[in-house]
Structure 1
Amino acid sequence: MKYLWLMLLASLSFFSHAAPKAELWPYWNQSNETNSQVIDHSEWQRVLDHNLIQQGSNTLFDYAHINPKDRQVLLHYINTLTKLDPRQFNKSEQFAYWVNLYNAATVQLILENYPTTSITKLGGLFSFGPWDQEILTINDHELSLNDIEHRILRPIWQDKRIHYAVNCASLGCPNLSTNAFTSKNTLALLKQAELNFIESDKGVKFNNGKLILSSIYDWYAVDFGGEGGVLNYLSQFKPEIKQTNKKPSYQYNWALNEK
């Protein structure tokens, strides 16, 4: 038993110091830029409208009180998206498709395992969360949440703001967007999510002159140009960062983002 506990602690420690690299899955790096068809995300919007609550700087999901109809709508939405071939759409539609699918699937995972105190409790004894579980099938390909984020979104779009768009159902994470992503609103939502997170204490804060950053900026520093790139980037929003000469510390709250 002592050995098993040490193994579990080791797996948790590993995640705190490492994160999946962006490694392209070439199959999904295709698009039809002549296709002007729009994917309908209204069902996801309905679920968001009925179940998100703003509390301070956090947007919380009311997992405990979601009604049966909204559960049905959520499942139907996910099933509808998985029956599409995203490669047949243009890149703007694809981005919204993958972000919304990631977030909807994450909410569904929590609902399937609720009550739980943290998404990190899901996934089995030696798993830190469910991110490597293959939970979706698209074009006969099984995908995990990590596949969507690290093998599709990050390597194809190479936009650091992706980290503000995908939601891990935790208080330390950038908030789940109150608006479903679409090809028309993506840029505006990314810009707003970026600003909201950096302006929140869970993104960037000072404590007695000490700079404390979200662990996102540690785990995914490579997407921001390394630690120096992180500080240069954040100083565009918070110029006072330039005045500190101490290395930042990092924090993250894995508690469930529930009402």
Structure 2
Amino acid sequence: MNKNIKRIVIKGFLSLFIILSGLYSTASITAPLSYWDKSNESMLQDVDHSQWQYILTRYLITSKNNTQINLFNYQHVTKADKRILKQYLARLQQIDPLQHSKIQQQAYWINLYNALTVQLILDNYPVKSITKLGKRFFSFGPWDDDAAVINGKTLSLNDIEHEILRPIWQDPRIHYAVNCASYGCPNLSATVFTGNNTEQLLTAGAYAYINHPRGVKIKGGDLEISSIYKWYSEDFGDDDNALIEHLKRYANPRLKQALILFQQSPGDIDFEYDWRLNQPE
């Protein structure tokens, strides 16, 4: 093929990719933030998440003393328990979260996101990585695919995380609560989120991830941290010092001292992420 023609063809494909990416990035956003940012603070009855707790108790292999990664035993989920998970997700989609308090809503959205992710893996199992899934052209994973219908509005996983959870609560600990079914991700909590324990679980998730090597480690004078801190840098202060202050807030004494020394004599900051499926090997 003539070199000039080849360049034109490549540029054409790149332009098409950019256009399609732009369309897909906004296609599933069905309601403005102002719609979801409402609540009923007089609601005392929380959403029932007992079916999700049942699934977690049976199939989540939990770490001890935050030294390991919580793994999910996708391979051994029974047909009966798959039905229970589907029933739970169907019931959540029949609930109007706006009729609940803000803290109950936060727990609702986190549990919904995590349960949808587990359901997605089960529907496509066996799969080596969640990044291998996705129905959209040029997609890297399934996060922009339609995942749930709440109040008649179709939402993707990205909508739940980036159009609801992050902008409404503006809490960086959200990143330690939603799980992407990967080794590099913060642990899937063994305890369901509720209106009573969300604050505690968010903090526990931050401690567990930051004090695990896949979250933060100092190596040869350099700081090696999860790519989460690059992808969502604005949530952690949008500069290196603010990020390190965030890490120090939840670091154990040894790691905190290492972070202080890094601040005093900075090395490089490297980002890593492990997309392998969070299942037992």
Determine if contact 2:52/2:85 at 8 Å carries over to the other structure. yes
Determine if contact 2:224/2:270 at 8 Å carries over to the other structure. yes
Q: Which runs of 5+ in 2 are unaligned?
A: 1-9, 22-30
Q: Provide Cα deviations, 1:82-129, integer angstroms capped at 9, x if missing partner.
A: 000000111111011000000000000001111100000000451010
Distance in 2, Cα, partners of 1:220 & 1:239: 25
Matched ranges for 1:124-163 at <5 A? 124=135, 126-163=138-175
Determine if contact 2:221/2:267 at 8 Å carries over to the other structure. no
- Which has the greater radius of gyration? 2
Matched ranges for 1:2-21 at <5 A? none
What code does the residue aligned with 1:34 have? S
Determine if contact 2:218/2:258 at 8 Å carries over to the other structure. no
For residue 270 of structure 2, what is the aligned residue in structure 1? 249
Distance in 2, Cα, partners of 1:239 & 1:78: 44
Q: Which moved more, 1:183-192 or 1:161-170?
A: 183-192
User: How many residue pairs get matched?
Assistant: 244
Matched ranges for 1:196-215 at <5 A? 196-215=208-227
Distance in 1, Cα, partners of 2:62 & 2:42: 39
Determine if contact 2:146/2:155 at 8 Å carries over to the other structure. yes
What code does the residue aligned with 1:235 have? K
TM-score, normalization: structure 2? Answer: 0.83
Distance in 1, Cα, partners of 2:245 & 2:147: 37
Q: Provide Cα deviations, 1:217-252, integer angstroms capped at 9, x if missing partner.
A: 111110011132111211332232121212311000
Identity among equivalent positions (%) equals 49
Give the counterpart of 1:77 among 81, 88, 104: 88
Distance in 2, Cα, partners of 1:183 & 1:247: 40
Give the counterpart of 1:101 among 98, 112, 116: 112
Q: 1:181 to 1:239 in 2, by over 3 A?
A: same
State the superposition RMSD in angstroms.
2.0
Determine if contact 1:43/1:77 at 8 Å carries over to the other structure. yes
Q: Provide Cα deviations, 1:21-53, integer angstroms capped at 9, x if missing partner.
A: xx9622111111111121100000000000011
